[in-house]
Amino acid sequence: MAKALYGAGDVVVLKDGQLRTSRSASTFKILAVLPETGGEIQYRVRSDVEGFERRIAAGEIDVVKSARSKHVPDDPISKGPGEPWFKPSAIRTKK
């Protein structure tokens, strides 16, 4: 299972490809992280230049030019030494 490196609100730069050149819009804002398809994380993104949203795979993102997300934790399971991930005292119920 792949891990998402970016989260909603992050701005990423796409790699140049057959359909994208350095002159076309290459920066996109991530709107949502989509489920994994074919072993690769998918993202829903939008460019300020284009008038539509598109789905991209994690492999289409230029990791060198894109800053790593501050929204996505390195390991969401481990919170810290001695701190459980589940806290029964945090559960609230109506009376």
In a domain, residue 18? The reply is yes
Residue 2 lies in a domain: no
Range of the domain at 54: 11-90
Number of domain units in the chain: 1
Cα separation, 65 vs 14, whole angstroms: 9
The pLDDT, as a whole number, for residue 23 is 55
pLDDT of residue 91: 80
Number of H helices and number of E strands within the chain? 0, 4
Residue 78's pLDDT is: 46
Question: Cα 66–67–70 angle (5° rounding)?
Answer: 140
pLDDT in tens, 40-91: 899 999 988 888 899 999 888 888 888 776 665 555 444 455 666 677 777 8
Within a domain: 86: yes
Is residue 4 included in any domain, yes or no? Answer: no
pLDDT confidence of residue 66? 83
**Strands annotated E in 3-72:** 11-13, 27-37, 40-46, 53-57
Q: What mean pLDDT is reported for the chain?
A: 78
CB-CB contact of 20 with 26 (8 Å): yes
Q: Is residue 36 part of a domain?
A: yes
